[in-house]
């Protein structure tokens, strides 16, 4: 993509946004070698979609569209929610667009949009299908009075004085024995019962969120890619090797597992306690959160919206319920496989586990043209074409509903990443822009924040189109 010298001076001066030449960012003259038919067809589609779109080089947004620095950020560091973005990013849009009305996030996650809105004293709403997200969002956006702060300090001391229990605790989570050392599992279950007995509801929710936040750290698994990976599976120059579970646990965890879990929990509670004491301010307009499907948000509130700012699941087949399944099961949010499946089926259709046989009503010729280019012989699931169709069907439904509830001249900001299957890129940013124009929005800007990676096999095949493997922020206006 060729960047011209015209610097954008009216928007986001701090981030030094630059305008990309307004012609399609790719053309046939770019290549000095013969293109495959599949690449040529993609270029035609992308060129058509990008024509006259306001594209901006926004690399300075790159470190704001993910949670890389969240572990350093007060309040955001309370729960390791890797799918989020920074409050600084939301602040920049709130300020630049002069938002004074209601703010909404239909995929609120840990409540970053609401936290940023609250810090600007704006009224906001959030909805998420994941009950863990709602718990964390409520905890991070709660106001804690002096009595609450005193209670937090008292209960931290009480947790620190708890001694090793003799009782044996049970869980319905079938994988628990594989996911945890047996003593660590017993310790976690013991602290969960202690936390459930805390009388102050706000404090109880803080402690429960902190308990959920440490689970990955003290477990035998970590969140990686499209799910969880066992930590005792180690990568070596000659490939992966599996270390015996008991041997790995003995080498990694200290002898006193109960004390270890207690120290990790108390340390995290102290981080939260210090943030509340030192960084939390009062707010006249606390946000409201709802646990449900974003496509049905009008069932929860009818207020007009001036800005909707969100990051949906990407069209990359990542199952975010699979990523959080340990916390969902151990935390008691689901009791059986049926409940877990129902949660998945209520989510956005972004993976093969969420299709739920729902009818696909919205059709787009560019989406169909890209699906036709898939190499179906090597496509890892026959469901993927309907994942792509379902994803943009849900995107259309959400944008159409938002259009009806957004005030005139109101805005929609969407942080989204493109994806690829069998050497075919799904350019989510410009397809959503195309859908938005069809509904009646004006595509005000598309900020290209950073470029994404893909598998080594696809990287070679997609090299001529690598500029389209990217993460962008789409700004729409009603």
User: pLDDT, tens digit, for every residue of 295-343?
Assistant: 999 999 999 999 999 999 999 888 889 899 999 999 999 999 999 999 8
Residue 277, number of CB atoms within 10 A of its CB: 12
Spatial contact of 112 and 86, defined as CB atoms under 8 Å apart: yes
Whether the Cβ atoms of residue 387 and residue 349 lie closer than 8 Å to each other: yes
Radius of gyration of the chain (CA): 24
How many Cβ atoms are within 10 Å of 169's Cβ, its own excluded?
Answer: 13
Q: Is 451 exposed, middle or buried (0-12, 13-18, 19+ CB in 10 A)?
A: middle
Question: What pLDDT shows up at residue 467?
Answer: 82
Within this chain, do residues 302 and 266 fall inside the same structural domain, yes or no? Answer: no
Residues 122 and 237 placed together within one structural domain of the fold:
no
Same domain? For 297 and 431 the reply is yes
Instruction: Specify if 218 maps to a domain.
Output: yes
Query: Which domain does 232 fall in, by range?
Result: 146-279
pLDDT over 50 at 29, yes or no: no
357 pLDDT more than 50:
yes
110 Cβ partners below 8 Å, 6+ apart?
76, 79, 81, 84, 133, 136, 137, 140
Q: Is residue 139 part of a domain?
A: no
- 435 occurs within a structural domain: yes
Give the per-residue pLDDT at 329.
Answer: 96
What residues have CB less than 8 Å from 363, skipping those under 6 apart? 389
Whether residues 466 and 317 fall in one domain: yes
Residue 50 within any structural domain of the chain: yes
pLDDT on residue 19: 60
Write phi, then psi, for 37 (nearest 5 degrees). Answer: -60, -40
Supply the DSSP string of 225-273, one letter for each residue.
TTEEEETTEEEETTEEEE--HHHHHHHHS-S-HHHHHHHHHHHHHHHHH
Q: Is residue 402 part of a domain?
A: yes
How confident is residue 76, by pLDDT bands cut at 50, 70 and 90? confident
**What is the spatial distance between Cα 59 and Cα 471, in angstroms, rounded to a whole number?**
10
Which residues are CB-neighbours of 318 under 8 A, at least 6 positions away?
Answer: 225, 226, 350, 351
Does one domain contain both 260 and 181?
Answer: yes
**Whole-angstrom distance, CA of residue 173 vs CA of residue 330:** 6
Structure tokens of 173?
């989570």
Residue 14 pLDDT: 59
Per-residue confidence (pLDDT) for residue 460, from 0 to 100: 58
pLDDT, one tens digit per residue, over 386-435 is 999 999 999 999 999 999 999 999 999 999 999 999 889 999 999 999 99
* Same domain membership, residue 166 and residue 273: yes
Please give the Cα distance from 384 to 368 (Å, whole number). 12
Q: What stretch of H or E contains 310?
A: strand 305-310
Half-sphere exposure of 457 (CA within 13 A, CB side): 6
Question: The pTM is what?
Answer: 0.90
Q: Which pair of structure tokens corresponds to residue 16? A: 């030094």
Q: Are residues 126 and 211 in the same domain?
A: no
Distance CA 273, CA 292 (A): 30
Number of Cβ within 10 Å of residue 31's Cβ equals 13
**pLDDT for res 414:** 97
SS3 153: helix
Q: Are residues 192 and 298 in the same domain?
A: no
Q: Is residue 304 part of a domain?
A: yes
Tell whether 311 and 440 lie within a shared domain.
Answer: yes
**Whole-angstrom distance, CA of residue 139 vs CA of residue 128:** 15
- The number of distinct structural domains making up the chain is 2
Mean pLDDT of 138-166: 94
> How far is residue 309's CA from residue 86's CA, in Å, rounded to a whole number?
12
In a domain, 188, yes or no: yes
Q: What is the pLDDT of residue 231?
A: 93
Residue 311 DSSP SS3:
coil
Residue 293's domain is classified under what CATH number? Answer: 3.40.50.150
Q: Are residues 126 and 98 in the same domain?
A: yes
CA atoms within 13 A on the CB side of 122: 25
Distance CA 89, CA 429 (A): 18
Contact 183, 257 (CB under 8 A): yes
Closest CA to 398 of 276, 297, 282: 297
In this predicted model, which residue has the larger pLDDT, 23 or 223?
Answer: 223
First to last CA, the chain: 29
Q: What digits encode the pLDDT tens for the residues 79-130?
A: 988 777 888 899 999 999 999 999 999 999 989 999 999 989 999 999 999 9
- 388 falls within a domain: yes
pLDDT of 332-344, one tens digit each?
A: 999 999 999 998 8
* pLDDT band with cut points at 50, 70 and 90 for residue 472: very high
Same domain, 255 and 292: no
| Same domain assignment for residues 91 and 171 | no
* Domain's final residue, options 242, 257, 279: 279
């Amino acid at each position: 993509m060729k960047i011209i010298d015209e610097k954008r001076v009216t928007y986001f001066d701090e981030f030094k946004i630059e305008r990309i030449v307004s012609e399609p960012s790719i053309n046939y003259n770019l290549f000095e070698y013969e293109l495959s038919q599949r690449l040529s067809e993609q270029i035609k589609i992308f060129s058509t979609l990008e024509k006259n779109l306001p594209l901006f080089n926004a690399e300075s947004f790159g470190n704001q569209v993910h949670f890389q620095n969240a572990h350093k950020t007060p309040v955001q560091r309370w729960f390791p929610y890797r799918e989020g973005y920074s409050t600084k990013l939301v602040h920049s849009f709130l300020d630049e667009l002069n938002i004074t009305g209601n703010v909404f996030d239909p995929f609120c996650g840990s409540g970053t949009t609401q936290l940023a809105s609250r810090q600007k004293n704006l009224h906001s709403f959030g909805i998420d299908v994941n009950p863990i997200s709602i718990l964390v969002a409520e905890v991070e956006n709660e106001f804690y009075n002096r009595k609450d702060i005193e209670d937090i300090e008292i209960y931290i001391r009480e947790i620190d004085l708890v001694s090793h229990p003799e009782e044996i605790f049970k869980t319905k989570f079938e994988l628990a024995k594989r996911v945890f050392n047996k003593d660590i599992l017993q310790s976690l279950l013991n602290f969960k019962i202690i936390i459930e007995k805390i009388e102050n509801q706000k404090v109880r929710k803080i402690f429960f969120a902190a308990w959920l936040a440490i689970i990955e750290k003290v477990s035998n698994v970590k969140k990686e890619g499209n799910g969880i990976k066992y930590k005792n599976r180690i990568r070596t120059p000659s490939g992966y090797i599996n270390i015996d579970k008991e041997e790995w646990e003995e080498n990694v965890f200290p002898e006193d597992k109960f004390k270890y879990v207690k120290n990790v929990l108390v340390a995290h509670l102290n981080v939260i306690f210090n943030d509340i004491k030192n960084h939390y301010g009062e707010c006249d307009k606390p946000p409201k959160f709802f646990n449900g499907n974003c496509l049905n948000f009008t069932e929860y509130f009818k207020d007009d919206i001036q800005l909707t700012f969100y990051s949906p699941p990407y069209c990359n087949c990542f199952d975010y319920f699979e990523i959080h399944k340990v916390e969902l099961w151990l935390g008691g949010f689901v009791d059986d496989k049926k409940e877990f499946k129902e949660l998945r089926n209520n989510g956005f259709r972004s993976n093969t586990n969420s299709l739920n046989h729902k009818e696909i009503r919205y059709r787009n010729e560019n989406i169909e043209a890209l699906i036709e280019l898939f190499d179906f012989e090597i496509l890892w699931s026959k469901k993927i074409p309907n994942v792509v169709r379902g994803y943009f069907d849900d995107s259309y439904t959400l944008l159409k509903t938002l259009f009806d509830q957004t005030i005139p001249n109101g805005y929609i900001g969407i942080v989204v990443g493109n994806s690829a299957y069998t050497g075919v890129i799904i350019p989510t940013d410009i397809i959503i822009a195309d859908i938005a124009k069809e509904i009646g929005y004006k595509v005000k800007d598309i900020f290209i924040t950073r470029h994404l990676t893909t598998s080594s096999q696809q990287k070679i095949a997609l090299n001529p189109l690598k500029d389209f493997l990217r993460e962008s922020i789409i700004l729409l206006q009603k």
